[in-house]
Structure 1
């Protein structure tokens, strides 16, 4: 079971880490403390903007859809994750950068997971990896932790298993699923995960998981009772066309970009741009 440090306020954490980057033990200390803030990031500039506000930046394999226009996360490669992971590390200073392990990079066993996770951390400078799956990956989580690689786990709706789950569906509605996800969470906590993402599960289950495990839970379509929350940044900024029910749009950037580009287009066609101030 995870050894839980005493809870720590964000202010105390910032003071203790003045001038440095947060680590997995820092995140572990935030259990039942001030909620953790996590967003996805894929580029250096976005990481630079998000960093002052976030405790964790997730280089998610959601870049498949957000950056590359792919239908699922399954085609994502280690090289793609490394390229974007390194950019996010370069663009941030304080947040712990976590990188998704893509499909086929860890499922064969602990040794494969270690080879690929260690390569990702060496290539990018990130501080942790995230892997999807439940009790069957507890051995891998323990193996990685024992060899110096912090692991964030991910349970509930796991997008890399979209075909076996039958689509992007809410998890934990049946008693059997409720029990299985609870067992997954406890096994991963016992194995040493420093945090667990709980995605698209019924609220009562997310609340129960949060109470049952010693490491922080980070919800996405889960419960406000989780120890933190995460969203895909493009979803919350209004850059994507369709979003899940659990997404709250905090801005409509796509609309604002459309208006700005329309104004630019009009000024170019009217030969109103460039103006004298834009010339040498």
Structure 2
């Protein structure tokens, strides 16, 4: 005797029914900036899980599987310990949970700096394992050769200048960058080098606003600001910061909700009802017919 099970899509957590829509492409996003002007800013948020991707996807052009998952998901002190395997698994979940946004995945510390060949092998692993469309790497002019190597072999790349978290040990902290004239010139030069190498977008993080504006005006590719300027071609935030999941966040974060408070209160109410035996009730239990 055999039994056939039919998936009930109205109750399945793992298999939601997607909307009929073509996923955005890297060339479509890149094409938003023409003659130095971007008519529609690019909306980008981080995502680490399938369910998070489902909730964010309709509102975003880009979903970034950031190595910030080291701190946000795993409770690590920085992004430095994050591995390729961690990034690939979370990126695969985000791809499964989305159908509209371009999914990009961070290349973790130590997976691309040694050589362009190492970077290609790491990027190919991430894209093959996850189905993501692009990779992001940190570093300026020193990484231009690597960016060109990847782009020339069919891998779309997002650069990252200014405050680069993977280099926190060299930078000495998470303070704003570009306050000195020399550092400001370097940030603009780094962005130009990455754009000339073929990056389709550059994250500009934690820099003083005039430098973010200067970078945006200096490059033909998209600039995605985080702690930068509204005049960048788009914006990105860590979703958990934006949702108010943490008590301490960088100055540049705007909290759009108090999700931590909602979760805490829901858990407290659940605990009260368990302890006074009011949960589960009739509606949550199976009664004899």
Same topology, TM > 0.5 = yes
SS of structure 2 residue aligned to 1:132: coil
TM-score (norm 2): 0.90
Cα shift at 1:21:
1.2
Cα shift at 1:27:
1.3
- For 2:221 and 2:180, the matched residues in 1 are separated by 25
Partner residue of 1:188 out of 188, 194, 204: 194
Unaligned runs of 5+ in 1: 1-17
> What residue number does 2:169 align with?
163
Cα shift at 1:136:
0.3
Cα shift at 1:137:
0.3
Compare relative contact order (CA 8 Å, sep 6+) and give the higher one, 1 or 2.
Answer: 1
Deviations 1:68-118 (A, max 9, x none): 000000000000000100000000001000000000000001000000101
The number of equivalent residue pairs is 263
Deviations 1:127-182 (A, max 9, x none): 00000000000000000000000000000000000000011110000000000001
Counterparts of residues 81-120 of structure 1 (less than 5 Å): 81-120=87-126
Range moving further from structure 2, 26-35 or 197-206 = 26-35
- For 1:169 and 1:140, the matched residues in 2 are separated by 27
SS of structure 2 residue aligned to 1:81: helix
Poorly superposed stretches of 4+, deviation over 2 Å: none
> What residue number does 2:256 align with?
250
RMSD, aligned CA: 0.7
Indicate the structure (1 or 2) with the bigger Cα radius of gyration.
2
TM-score (norm 1): 0.93
Q: Does 1:80 align with 2:90?
A: no
- For 1:75 and 1:241, the matched residues in 2 are separated by 23
Unaligned runs of 5+ in 2: 1-19
> What residue number does 1:4 align with?
none
- For 2:262 and 2:120, the matched residues in 1 are separated by 44
- For 1:89 and 1:243, the matched residues in 2 are separated by 27
Counterparts of residues 197-216 of structure 1 (less than 5 Å): 197-216=203-222
Q: Does 1:273 align with 2:279?
A: yes
Deviations 1:177-225 (A, max 9, x none): 0000010000001000000000000000000110110001000000000
Cα shift at 1:29:
0.9
Q: Does 1:234 align with 2:240?
A: yes
Cα shift at 1:241:
2.0
- For 1:33 and 1:192, the matched residues in 2 are separated by 21
- For 1:275 and 1:249, the matched residues in 2 are separated by 36
- For 1:277 and 1:231, the matched residues in 2 are separated by 40
